[in-house]
Amino acid sequence: MATDPKKYSLNHTMLRVKDPQRSIKYYELLGMKQINKIENPDAKFDLYFLAYDTPKSLSGGQHWTARQGVLELTHNYGTEKDESFKVANGNSDPGKGFGHICISVDAIQAACQRIEDAGYRFQKRLTDGRMRHIAFALDPDGYWVEIIAFNPVDKTEDVKETDAGTYRFNHSMIRVKDHEKSLKFYQDIMGMSLIRTSENESNGFNLYFLAYPGDEAVPKESANGVNPTAEREGLLELTWNYGTEKDASFKYHNGNDEPQGFGHICIAVDDIDAACKRFGEKGVNWKKKLTDGRMKNIAFVLDPDGYWIEVIQNEKLEGRTIGR
């Protein structure tokens, strides 16, 4: 069977967590639900998969591999009992690389107030600084959770209620050394489309948003005047800080070397055998080929910065059924 990148999707982002129950409680406050759990007692770790799963969600009720906007939390047994254990959130050296995940909400003022009322901290409140249309909450492990709005921010100032069932897991952000290399890789090899660019010359960085748009058109206008893609899920944000591409010694942290935190992003494909054959023909660097080891149902590709990209089978699409 041939493979069609137009049928691929950005399925999930994986984060390591210290205490899964503490983390699940937090993400349930943000409206997510646990939709799958994979236990690995022999290897002493469990995987928890969370997503938005209401009738108002973009992929509510779907098989976990057939979704976009899934969050995978990895728990290595015993970390919750280790007072010294701490993950690297990706935003400070020596673990700088991954930046944040982002949720999109209906009424950003009410949503932020709800998080604060529950006792959680913020890296940036909505009222901090000049950018009054975004906030950054902190999850229990210190990962940054960006909060954006899919309704006009100036129209929700007096709204006191928020419906978490309408939220979206909009995007995940990673920093890249060379934007040209990364954009070429994610478009030409991984099959994504560049759907939005935000240039910030005065601050010395650009943001590039990629997605598997499928049959969806890219909106030309924004609900809030800033982000025309806020109602979507499954976006990847690449942040490029000017000049890093010229520094031969510069390198971002992939999250899997010490100190650990972020693990990988994952794409679900229409036919995993055909997709991996295509990736091989395009000369990708492999972390794990489909035929390596005992797990013959997943592969891991390395992007230009060494970030891991898991490849899995979308169970809803015709192809190889893996039963994971």
**Which residues are identified as catalytic?**
146
Residue with tokens 């209620």, as numbered in its chain? 161
Other Cβ atoms within 10 Å of 196 Cβ, number: 19
Q: Give me 164's structure tokens.
A: 């978490």
Question: What DSSP line would sit under 211-269, residue for residue?
Answer: E--TTPPPPSS-SSSS-TTTT--SEEEEEEETTGGG-TT-----SSSSSPBEEEEEEEE
Please tell me whether the peptide bond between 259 and the residue prior to it is cis, using omega within 30 degrees of 0.
yes
DSSP secondary structure code for residue 189 in this structure: I
- The residue type found at 36 is N
Do 134 and 175 form a contact (C-beta atoms < 8 A)? no
Largest Cα–Cα separation, the chain: 56
